[in-house]
Chain A
C-alpha cells in the first residue's frame, strides 16, 4: 500500500493557478448568495425585521412624533418615511453582521476557509442575498406610509430610485457590521457593538427631526453623517423626483465606507481561527 508504483505523471501542483480570478470570485460570491437564500427560505423569521418592523415603526413614529415635529401626522410623513427607510435598512444591516458571526461559528466556515476560493466570497455572498431584505424593507415602509396618507411627489420613478439608493446604502453599510462580525467574539457582542453604532448614526442625523433644531456642535456631526446625506437624497427622490447633489454625496460616502471596511473584513476573516 505504501509503495505504490506509479507511472511518471505530472507534478500534482503543475499548472494550478496561484490566485483566484475576478470571474471566479464573482461566481463564488453568487454561489454563496444562493446558499444564503436557501437558508433564508428555511428560516422565515429572518424576514421579521424587514416586514413587521416597517409596518410597526412607520405607524408608531408617525403618531408619536408627527404632532410635535410637524404639527400633524400627514405633514410629518414626507420627512419621516425616508428617515425610517434609512433606519430599517440599518437594522437589517446589523442582522447581516450578527448572522455572519453565528454562521462563522459553525463548522461549515472551516470548510470555506480551506477551499481554494476567494476569501471575500463567504462574506460578500450573504450580503448580496441581504439586498433582497433591504428592498423588502424599503418597499414596505413606503407602502405603509402611502396607506397612512403619504403622497410621494416623485411618483413611481422617484420611489424606485429611492429604493435602489436604500438598497445600495444597506449593502455598503453592511460592510461595517460584517467587519464587526469578523472581529466580535460572539454573536451577542457583535449585536452590542452594532447597536452602539447603529443608533447614533440613525438618530444623530436628519432622519427624524430637522437638523436645524439641534445644537451647533451636533449639527456638524449630522452634516458629516453619511446617513443624513442618504436621508436627504431619498427625500428629494421620493418627494420631488429630483436627483440632488445629496445623491452624489451619499454614493461617495458609501463608497468610502466600503473601501475601508471591505478590506478590513477580509483581513480579519483570514486571521480568524
Chain B
C-alpha cells in the first residue's frame, strides 16, 4: 500500500510550530500491528483529522501520543517534547477527550470539574470559578448539581470536553467526539469544536465519519489497517481519485446506445449505463471534457433531460484508497447532513 502525499512538505521551522510530530509510530498487540509505521505532522493552529474505519488504529495512535500507551516503535513529540522520555511535560500540553466520556459518574458536573481543576493545581476558589465558567460556556449550567449518571450522551461528551479545557491546553485530542451521538447533538458538538478552533486551539481529531472530517478538518490523514494511505486537504483527497463524473439523463432511453458510443469515442472510456432510468455516467479526466460530450450529443440531435458534473465524495475517495468502504451505515450512525453540497457542482 503506498502513501499518497498531496500537501507540500512542512517547512522545517522551529519544532514548537509543530504541535504533533510522529515518525514511524508502531504499536503491536500480539501478532497484530495495530499501528504500523505512521508518520504524522500537525501544525500549530490547525485542525487535523485522522479518518479511518473502526479498528484502523486511530485511537491506538492517539493513545500512544497522549502517553496512555507505550510506543512500540518510532517516535512522537508534542510541541517538540518527546512523548516517551518526557510524558509529564506532554501531559501538561494536552487536553484529551476520549471515545467514551471520561468523567466520574457518581459526581455532579460541578464536582467533576472542580476535581480536575484541583488536581491540576487550581486553588479551591479558582477551581469553582473555572467550573462555573465552563458549565456556562458549554450550556450545562442547569445540570451543574446533577450526578452524571443522569446525563444524556451529548451532555456527557460536552462535560468531557469541558474537563479537557480546564487548564486551556494548547493542543486538544478529540477521539471520535461524536460517535454514538444523535444527529442534533452531533451538530452541537461540531459548533463547539469550531468555537475552540476560533479561539486558536490546535486540534487532532479522529473520526470514522467522512462528513465530520470534511466539515471540521483543515487536513486529513486516511488510516486503514494501521497504515496511512493518504494525506491532504479534503479537496486534494477528492481530486486525487480524480475524476469527476458527468451524469446524464436523456429524454429517450432509445438514444442511450448511440449516446454511449459518442461518449466513448470522445473520452476514450465506456460509460456506465442505466437504461431503465435513461441515465449514463461518464468518468472524466477533466471537468471541461463534459462540454465535449454535450456538444457531441447536440450534433447527433440527442435530447438531454438533466446534466450534472460531480466531484467524488469522500466516501468514494475512501473506497478508492482502501478498496473498501468506511463500514459506517445504519440509521443511527449516519451523519446528520446528507452528502456535502460543496461536492456538487451543477453545470447546466
Contacts and interface: CB of A to CB of B under 8 A. Distances in A.
Pair from one complex: yes
Interface string B51-84: 0000000000001001111100000001111000
Contacts of B250: none
Interface stretch (A10-18, A156-164, A189-197, A219-227): A10-18
A151 interface: no
B163 interface: yes
Contacts of B100: 107, 110
Contact of A12 (B16, B98, B120): B16
Query: Contact residue range for chain A?
Result: 35 or more
Query: Contact residue range for chain B?
Result: 35 or more
B218 to A, nearest CB: 4
Contacts of B102: 107-111
Interface string A46-87: 000000000000000000000000000000000000000000
Interface string A6-34: 10000111001111100010011001101
A114 interface: yes
Nearest to A125: B119
A109 B93 CA distance: 19
A106 B105 contact: yes
A1 B197 contact: yes
A251 B233 CA distance: 64
A19 B90 CA distance: 11
Contact of B92 (A16, A110, A271): A16
A70 B106 CA distance: 48
Interface stretch (A35-43, A88-96, A128-136, A170-178): A35-43
Interface stretch (A115-123, A140-148, A238-246): A115-123
B89 A13 contact: yes
Contact of B88 (A2, A4, A20, A273): A20
Contact of B16 (A11, A16, A108, A111): A11
B155 interface: no
B43 interface: yes
Contacts of B67: 113-114
B119 A28 contact: yes
Contact of A107 (B66, B98, B115, B118): B98
A106 B104 contact: yes
B47 A1 contact: yes
Contacts of B66: 114
A212 interface: no
Nearest to B97: A111
Contacts of B213: none
A20 B80 CA distance: 20
A20 B92 CA distance: 11
A17 B86 CA distance: 10
Nearest to A106: B105
Interface centre among A2, A18, A31, A111 (most CB of B within 10 A): A111
Interface centre among A106, A107, A116 (most CB of B within 10 A): A116
A213 interface: no
Interface of B: 14, 16, 43-47, 63, 66-70, 78-81, 86, 88-89, 91-94, 96, 98, 100-107, 111, 115-116, 118-121, 147, 163, 170-171, 197, 200, 218-219
9 contacts: A4-B200, A12-B171, A19-B88, A20-B88, A31-B119, A39-B104, A39-B106, A111-B102, A115-B120
Interface of A: 1-4, 6, 11-13, 16-20, 24, 27-28, 31-32, 34-35, 38-39, 42-43, 106-117, 121, 271, 273
- 8 closest pairs, A vs B, by CB? A116-B91, A107-B102, A2-B218, A111-B102, A4-B45, A2-B46, A110-B102, A116-B92
